[in-house]
């Protein structure tokens, strides 16, 4: 019997205080702004026609806060998991780009010197390492819950990893595709295969969070 694809609804958290201030977050956290709460509520309305079976979220507070808004209409409580965390930005976390350059001069990603996948912030993670923790987790979800619809609330770095896997392109190639706050990315998944059903950047550019 042909296996049924699992539907993965991947949503980035709503805008946070540090997003609004231009501060790098990573594994550190800040709460949603009023706009971020509105973005999550708008996303929840967008998802009302999906029959969501289970919900998982990054264990970061901003993602949990977003997931509570998204999961409630489906009668679900999202399960926090560390695998869906944002990339660890190490020493950059809590700083603006200007402050990073002052404190860690010359350490930022430089095209030609590094690849996006392998560049490491001071004491942080590479995107390859993010992919290595996200991909097996999702593979297990697809194997364990065939044919179900799963909500995953996460972060821009993780959304970009999914985008790279689906497109078969490197992170350098897709980097200009910035996932907006509370964007929705819907994938159909079989073990070893991901296919985009709804892009997080519609052609109309009428995207959540803008």
> In the chain, how many domains are there?
1
Which segments of 100-176 are extended strands (E)?
Answer: 149-154
Domain extent at residue 99 = 6-198
Q: How far apart are the first and last CA of the chain?
A: 43
1 token code pair:
């019997």
* 206: pLDDT strictly greater than 70: no
Q: What is the pLDDT of residue 110?
A: 80
For residue 144, give the CATH number of its domain.
3.40.50.1240
- From 86, 93, 125, 155, the catalytic residue: 86
Confidence of residue 208 (pLDDT cuts 50, 70, 90): very low
Residue 87: inside a domain: yes
Cα–Cα distance for residue pair 168/90, rounded to 1 Å? 28
H-run or E-run covering 184: strand 184-190
The reply to whether 155 belongs to the active site is no
CA distances from residue 36 to 63, 160, 178, 181 in whole angstroms, order as listed: 11, 20, 17, 8
Global pTM reads 0.93
The reply to whether 86 belongs to the active site is yes
């Amino acid at each position: 019997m042909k296996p049924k694809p699992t539907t993965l609804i991947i949503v980035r958290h709503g805008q946070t205080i540090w997003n609004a201030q231009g501060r790098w977050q990573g594994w550190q956290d800040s709460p949603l702004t009023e706009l971020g709460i509105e973005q999550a509520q708008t996303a929840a309305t967008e998802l009302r026609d999906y029959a969501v079976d289970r919900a998982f979220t990054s264990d970061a507070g901003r993602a949990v806060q977003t997931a509570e808004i998204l999961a409630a209409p489906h009668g679900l409580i999202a399960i926090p998991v560390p695998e869906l965390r944002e990339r660890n930005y190490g020493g950059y976390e809590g700083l603006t780009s200007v402050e990073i350059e002052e404190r860690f001069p010359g350490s930022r990603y430089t095209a030609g010197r590094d690849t996006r996948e392998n560049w490491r912030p001071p004491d942080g993670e590479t995107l390859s390492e993010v992919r290595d923790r996200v991909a097996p987790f999702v593979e297990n979800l697809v194997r364990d819950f065939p044919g179900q619809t799963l909500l995953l609330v996460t972060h821009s770095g993780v959304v970009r990893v999914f985008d790279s896997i689906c497109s078969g392109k490197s992170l350098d190639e897709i980097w200009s595709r910035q996932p907006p706050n509370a964007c929705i990315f819907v994938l159909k998944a079989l073990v070893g295969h991901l296919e985009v059903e709804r892009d997080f950047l519609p052609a109309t550019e009428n995207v959540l969070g803008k």
